[in-house]
Structure 1
Amino acid sequence: MKTKLYLYLFAAFLLSITSCKEEGRFQANSDDTTAPGIVTDVVYEPLYGGARFYYTPPHDEDLLGVEAVYTNANDKSFTFSASYFADSLEVYGFADTEEYTVQLFAVDRAGNRSEAVNVSVTPLEPAYTRVAESMEVKPGFSSFFLDWTNELEQNINVYVNFKYTVDGTPREFTSVFSSNLAEDRRFINDLFLSPEEKVSVSVRVEDMFGNATEMIDKGQISLYEDIEIPKDNWVLPNANDSIGGVPMCFGDGLEGRARYVIDGIIDQGDNLNFMHTHSRGRTGNSEDGNMPWNYIIDLGDYYELSRIITVQRHSGGLANISRGQYYRNENVGIYNMYIWDEDVDEWVQINQHKIPVPVGLSEIEFVKKGEAGDMAYMFPDDPQYTKPTRWFRYEAVKSFNGNYTLDDANCLSEITLFGRKSN
C-alpha cells in the first residue's frame, strides 16, 4: 500500500515539474535578446483569398510560435500567428489573385523575432468576390430578396442600394447586412409598389480586411402585389372534426383557445392570447398524442395564397421586455402548409418552413422580432400564388426544443395569410 502511495506522489512530482517547465515557455524574459532561428522547409497551399503555409519551426526551447505578415495595396499590414506546436499557419485577406509577398517569423517568449523568410504566394479568388458573383436578386411580394453563397463562411458585409420613383418623386435607400453563413437570404420588405413602379438594385460586398467590390448593377425588378386576407369570414372546424381525412387540432387547453389564433391579437405576456394543446393537440384525446397537430381554416371564400406570418406565444411577463418563450419552449419551430385542391379532391402540401432562431439579440430585440412574427412564402425560391383554395391547413411538425426534434409544441398565438381573391 505504501509502495502505491510513493508511486502516486512521484508521478505527481514529475507532472508538477513538467507543468512548471511548460508554463515557463509563456513567461516573458526581458534579459533575452537572442532571436530564434528561422522557419524552414516552407511550402504553401493557395486558398480562397489566402494561403496555408507548412513549415518546420526552429528548435528553440523558448519558441512561442510563428507569425505571418503581409501588407496590402492600401499599405495596411496584417499579422497572423500560430502556436509553437502547430506545423501550419493560415493567412487571409488578399484582395485578388495577384502575387503577394508574405513574411514568416519565428517568435520567442521574450518577443524576439527571427529573420524574415519571404514567400511569394498567388491566392485563389477571394471570398468576397465569390459572394458577389453568386448573388441573386429576386422579386417578392411587396419586397425583394437577395440570395448568396459563402462557402468559406467568412465575415462579409453586403450593401444593397435600391431606388424607385413614387408619384414622380425619386427615392433611394441603402440597407446593410452582415453575415458569415454558408448560404444566406435577406429581405428588403414593406415596399408597397405596383408592378409598374420598378426598383433598381445594385450591391457591393466587402470583407473584414477592407476589401470591397465596386457597386454591381443588378438591374430593375418589378415586385408582386398581395393583400392581407381579411379574417372576418374565417371559420374553424371543431376539435377532432375531420376535413379531408385530417382532424382539426385541439387548442383549448389551460388558458389557451383555438379561436385566438385568428382574432388579430398577438400574445404579449399579459393578455394570454394563444392556443394551447395541453400535450394532446392532434385530436384532443391524450392517446392520440400531441404532434403533428393541424390547424384548419375555412377562408370563407376562394383565395390564391402568397405568404404567411405566424406569431408565437410570448408569455414574457407584464413589462413585455423579456424574451419569454419566443423561439423556444412550447412554440412551433417547423410546420407544413397545405391547401385543399378541389381538382384532385385532397390536401396538397405547398411547403415546409423551419423558423430560424435569431442569434446575438438582446431581450428587447427578441421581443420586437417575436411580435413582428415570422414571415414565410408559400413558394420561397420562386415567389408566386397558390391555386385558388377555400381551405388552408397549418400542420405543426416539431417544436424548437431539442434542436427541432421534440413533439412538445403546445402553443401558437396568431396566423395571418396574404394573397389575392380568386376571380
Structure 2
Amino acid sequence: MEPIFTHSLRLFADPSRVVVRPFHISWQGTSSRTQRLVGEVLRMSAQQARDELQEVLRDFEARHWQTRRVFMTRYDEIEAQLGLDGSKIGDEKRQLIGAYFCHEYSYAAAALMNPSVVPHYDQSGMPRGSCRILMSLRAVGEGHISSVAFREGIITSENKLKLAPEPPFATATDTHGDEDEIPQGPVTVHRHRDSTLSGTVIFPITEAQSKGLEDLRLVKFAHDDGAAEWLGTYTAYNGSAIQSELLRTRDFRAFDLVPMTGPAARNKGIALFPRKVNGKYAAIGRQDGENLYLLTSDTLTHWEEGERILEPEYPWELVQIGNCGPPIEIDEGWLLLTHGVGAMRKYAIGAALLDKDDPSRVLARTAEPLIAPASENREGYVPNVVYTCGAMKHGDSLFIPYGVADSSVAFAFVGIDTVLAAMTPAESVEPRKRASA
C-alpha cells in the first residue's frame, strides 16, 4: 500500500486549558444552600462586596474570556431561580453572586483523544477544492471526567490542513432549566452567546453522564426532505453503567442530548449512517464486545439487536473489532473504518467496504492496518493505541484525524483508491472457525 501522508501538526493534552463552569451548589445538597449563599452576599456592605469581587478578578480575569459577563450570566440564572429583584442589587454584588456559582476546571489536563470530523455548517468563502471542517475531541480532565471539545479548520485539495486559532479562553455549555434539580433524560445545552465553537466545551450534565461523555461520533445527516442535521452518538458513563446517547444540532448553538433505548443502546460505539438506507435509519455497532453488527431502526433513538456482519479475522484484530466512525458513502459502496485489537492490546485502524444497497454484505476488508502504533506514536497516557471516531471524504481522499496513545491527536490523508487497493475481497476470505454458543 502507498504510504499515508501524515500531517506534522499535533494536538496535545494541556492542563493550562481551563474553563469556567457553572457550579450547581444545590445539586450538592439542598436549595437552601443557594439561598443562604446569596443572602450572605446581599448582607455584605458595598465596600466588602467590591473588595471580594476585586480579589476574584485579580485571580481569574486574565485566565478567562469575558469573566464579568460570565458571572453576570450566571447571576441571571440564579435570579430567575430565586425570584430576586436585580434592580435593587448593584452590579458588583450581582457579579460576586455569579462568581460563587462558578468554578474553574482544567478540561484537557489528562488526555486528548478520539476525534471525529464532519464538514462545517458554514462553507461560505471557501475556494474550490477546500472545505471548512469541524472536529470533535474527547478531552479528559480532573477526576478522569470526559467532555466534548470542538476545533474548526480548513483542508485543501493539496491535503493541507490549517486549524482555526484556538481562543485563549473556553466556555462551557449549560442548561436553562431548574437550578435545584439535576437534569434527567433528554436535555438541551446551549453554547454561550459570545463564545466561538472552538472555545466551547460540552460537559456531563445528567446523572447518567456524570463521569463522562465519551467518544462522540459525528455525522452530517441528510433527512428525507433534504435538510441537514448534525448527529453524534456517544457513550454516557456514570461511574458504573454505560448507555448510548444521541447529540442533535442544526446550528451548533443548542445541542439536544437524548438517551437512546433498546438492547443495542446498552453498548458502546454505535455509529450512524449519514442517511437512511432502504427507508430505515441504519448504524454500525458492537453488541457483544467482539464483533460488528448492522443495526436498523424506524427511529433515531431506539435500536434493537442487529445482524452480525464482521468478525475478527486477522492477527492484528483477533481480540476484538469495532467501528471507527460513521460509514462513508463512496461510489463503490460504504467505506467503514474499523479498529482492531491484537496482541499486547495494541489498537490499529483498518477498513471494510459494505454493499451500498445492502450494507449487511461485506465486499472487502483490509488484511493489514492502515494506521498502527509505531515508534513515533506509541507512547502516552494509554500506550500502543491509535483510534478515530470518524473520518470524512474530501475529493478523492480520506481525511482521518486520530488519537495517539490517548495523549495527542494526529492527522492523516490517504487516497480512497489506495484504501480500496489494500483490501482483500470478502469472497476470497476463509471465515474463521468459531465454536457454536
The structure with the larger Rg is: 1
More helix, by proportion:
2
Structure 2 length as normaliser, TM-score? 0.26
More strand, by proportion:
1
Structure 1 length as normaliser, TM-score? 0.27
